[in-house]
Amino acid sequence: MKHFAALKIFISTRKIKTGWDSVNNKPAKGGLLNYVKFRNDVLRWIASDRGRANTFYTSFIDLYAFPKDSESPYSARIQGIINPYQKITALEAAIGQDINHPTFIPYVQLHEFEALLLVEPDRLLTMYPDEQSGITRLKRDIGQTNPEEINESPKTAPSKRIIQYLPNYEGQKAQVGPLIAEDIGLNLLRQKCRHFNEWISKLENI
């Protein structure tokens, strides 16, 4: 990422391994159902570097559908916190305590990656040029709501709202989403998404 490279911070990414894809005979990625798979993958990743100097680790995982199983730090107490920023702070602290590694910086996205796209929904027009009507209705639906506060209901989470008005997005999320976020640009995403900005700031100052 150019922004971090200019700060002499170099980034590599990987997806969480969530199981085994028996059809393609390779590790499965995505669709996290159990917290322990996330924790174990992070710990394996850290261990594989064998204490490499000046190396830090972070996560980018949605609050929407975050695992609530018995081993998850997303406890009933944290789930019951009404204020989304207080909730996400408590959850990240609990994840940090569970991973318990000084170079790991937990980050959970409020409430879903697609919140970033709702910073400027008009940018969706670049990928869906025939869907101005749907985008207009999407904008009317979300109004002036802070994108990070668009909730985690199965019907009204950020991606569900986009799919409601742009149905083709459902099968194109992995390809279209990052392109739209890049088009919106880091500066505007940071300006409109407080929690996202706090994470970027942490990474800039490691």
Tokens of 170: 């459902």
Q: Where are the domains of the chain?
A: 2-109, 114-190
What integer pLDDT is reported at residue 21 of this predicted model? 62
Classify the phi-psi angles of 65: left when phi > 0, otherwise alpha if psi is within -120 to 50, otherwise beta.
left
Q: Chunked in runs of 10, what are the mean pLDDT values of the chain (206 residues)? A: 91 81 63 89 94 95 95 97 98 98 97 98 98 98 96 93 97 96 97 98 96
Tokens of 176: 């279209």
**Amino acid (1-letter code) at residue 23:** V
Note the pLDDT tens digit of each residue in 90-148. 999 999 999 999 999 999 999 999 999 999 999 999 999 999 999 999 999 999 999 99
* Torsion sign across C-alpha atoms 14, 182, 151, 79: positive
Secondary structure letter of residue 73 according to DSSP: S
Residues of 127-142 as b/e, b for ≥16 C-beta within 10 angstroms?
Answer: bbeebeebbeebeebb
Cα gap 48→46, rounded to integer Å: 5
What integer pLDDT is reported at residue 23 of this predicted model? 66
Helix H or strand E encompassing 145: none
What integer pLDDT is reported at residue 22 of this predicted model? 63
pTM, 2 dp: 0.92
